[in-house]
Chains A and B, each alone.
Chain A
Amino acid sequence: MFIIGERINGMFKDVSRAIKEKNKRFIQELALKQIEKGANALDVNIGTAVEDPVSAMEWLVKTITEVTEITLSIDTTKLVVMEAGLRYCKSKPIINSTSADDEKLNNLIALAKKYNAGLIGLTMSNRGIPSDANSRLELAMHILTRWQGEGLLIDDLYIDGVILPVNVAQAQCPEVLETIRQVKLLSQPPPKTVLGLSNVSQGTKYRSLINRTYLVMALASGLDAAILDPLDEELIKAIRTAEILLNKTIYCDYYLKGRK
């Protein structure tokens, strides 16, 4: 699966401090460590407590691209901050993310075209997050139609079924799995599917266990990518094992040792 490392996010205190103190080394080490542990891309989020978000995002992206050319997923709700990040990416970036609302969708699709970027489309709108799979799929279809209408590649579109914390919205967990399964039927070839995994365990007691259990279920439902913590060893082990059991990679006794 395509692993997007979640650790460079200003919501984490250590990262927030590093952004504030312009501690390049901390950010670069965190980037490389995530890659070493299996990340195929890195999410970049400046968090909320930043005075000048545009220059913070620029600094963050420049800092990371000094040490790696890996795909970056620019994670912000503000258009100007998004563009500030995309501008300095060295390889094809991912826009994280748009909702199904037309204004936002139009703006971000325009940016995706301008910067030849992928796009994560959340199955939510200004009316909120739907409570069932069918309503999520309607929104996914809307995003997909707009994306393809612009002549963009289906491979570059990631549909995110928006998972909510299990302790808040337990009934949503199977609905999101169903969404992942059905997104694969929306078009041929289908768009990719992605999850912001850690959200499922937000505020719970056994976060790591919940994350990896849900991820394995999602993989079995056809999930292609996830934003997650690659430094969680048990999580990575569960992914590698699921890939073996789904016949995605070739088994051998020491499959956990081999680099994917």
Chain B
Amino acid sequence: MEKAIEKWSGKVNEVSIGATSQEGGTRSKVIKVGGENTLPFLHFEGKIINPPVVAMEVWDMEPPTWPDILKEEFKDCLADPVGWAKKAVESWGIDLLCLRLFSTHPDAKDTSGDEAADTVEKVLKAVKVPLIVIGGYSAQKDGDVLFKVSEIANGENCLLGIAVQENYKTITAACISGGHSIIAETPIDINLAKQLNILISDMGFPAEKIVIHHSTGGLGYGLEYTYSVMERTRLAALSGDKMLSQPMINFVGQEVWRAKETKTSEEEMPVWGKHKERAVLWEATTAVAFLNAGADILVMNHPQAIKLVKGTIKELMEE
């Protein structure tokens, strides 16, 4: 029987995160994502030149809503982003970090942009892995915060975000001035995602430096909606739609660790099995689903879940 192999005309853009001294930064290596010209892991059909990557989240303050079983892993560094980043790299071998400047949100600590930039600078000095930096998820404040971050991290080629319809102008301008890539987020809607990419590139920002976030639906909480929008996006990219050819990111940990499946204790729900095991698997399973939907970057929390997913990626990348 003849193999039914699809010939695609397009491919996903390749985005680099980080810059070594050769590229004008201080990172020890550059991480590349995207570049594939086939659907996830179909090695017989095309080339997947870069494996999907996993970034560990580092917070700039103690995460207020995390369950204890997750906090426990970081108990010696929860309010210390520098220590946290070092531990991630040194103890768990993490090669990509996502620094979440949660304290800047007006409802958190309302930390100023300058203070946030100071944290970014310290983390950049403490570890040499590439950085993703996101604000506090306040559409209004993130623009100011990321402007300061962009300045301090000039030349480091970070991936900054999250740009949404309300603030993409300031965040795009920030990314242009510091030479960073950008995360563009829309609420599970392929038409709006394309539109935001067009608007951002219309400002003179290269479409090749955008990463799409379609919002992340957690397992049991709308994952399937995100999944199908991501699939459609990838098919559009492979069919040559340049405004949907961007790599995709998912904030897996953020969604998973607020679900009752990860928060409810064994005592409350004995039939669900061991709390920690269940929660770690919940995060890992969610992540693997997104890998199959076409995710290029997964942002995760629990070191054990990250290890599991990295192992799975390795297996899936074997041709």
Contact = CB atoms under 8 A, between A and B. Distances in A.
B5 to A, nearest CB: 13
Contacts of A251: 191, 194
A63 to B, nearest CB: 27
Interface in B10-24: none
Interface in A72-118: none
Interface stretch (A121-129, A136-144, A172-180, A252-260): A252-260
B191 A252 contact: yes
A250 B242 contact: no
Interface residues of A, number: 12
B166 interface: no
A250 B198 contact: no
Contacts of A258: 194, 197-198, 201, 241-243
A260 B240 contact: yes
B198 A257 contact: yes
A251 B241 CA distance: 11
B240 to A, nearest CB: 7
Contacts of B241: 249-250, 258, 260
Contacts of B202: 254, 257
Query: Which of A155, A251, A252, A260: most chain B CB closer than 10 A?
Result: A252
A254 B194 CA distance: 9
A250 B232 contact: yes
A155 B236 CA distance: 20
A254 B198 contact: yes
Contacts of A249: 236, 239, 241
Interface string B182-196: 000000001110110
Contacts of B201: 258
Interface residues of B, number: 20
Given A257-B198, A258-B198, A252 B242 contact: no
Contacts of B191: 250-253
B313 interface: no
A251 B198 CA distance: 12
B240 A250 contact: no
A53 B241 CA distance: 39
A187 to B, nearest CB: 15
Nearest to A248: B239
Contacts of B207: 259
Nearest to B233: A250
Contacts of B197: 258
B199 interface: yes
B175 interface: no
A255 B190 CA distance: 12
A260 B7 CA distance: 18
Nearest to A259: B242
Contacts of A259: 207, 242-243
B244 interface: yes
Given A258-B242, A258-B243, A252 B236 contact: no
B23 to A, nearest CB: 26
Interface in A123-174: 155
A260 B195 contact: no
A67 B78 CA distance: 56
Contact of A250 (B7, B199, B244): B244
Contacts of A250: 190-191, 194, 232, 236, 241, 244
Interface in B231-256: 232, 236, 239-244
A240 to B, nearest CB: 12
Contacts of B242: 258-260
Contacts of B195: 252-254
Contacts of A255: 194, 198
Interface in B184-233: 190-192, 194-195, 197-199, 201-202, 207, 232
B199 A254 contact: yes
Query: Which of B197, B207, B240, B241: most chain A CB closer than 10 A?
Result: B241
Given A249-B241, A254-B195, A255-B198, 20 more contacts: A155-B7, A249-B236, A249-B239, A250-B190, A250-B191, A250-B194, A250-B232, A251-B191, A252-B194, A252-B243, A254-B202, A255-B194, A257-B198, A257-B202, A258-B194, A258-B201, A258-B241, A258-B243, A259-B207, A259-B242
Interface of A: 155, 249-255, 257-260
> Which 6 residue pairs are nearest across A and B when measured between Cβ atoms?
A252-B195, A258-B243, A252-B194, A258-B198, A252-B191, A254-B198
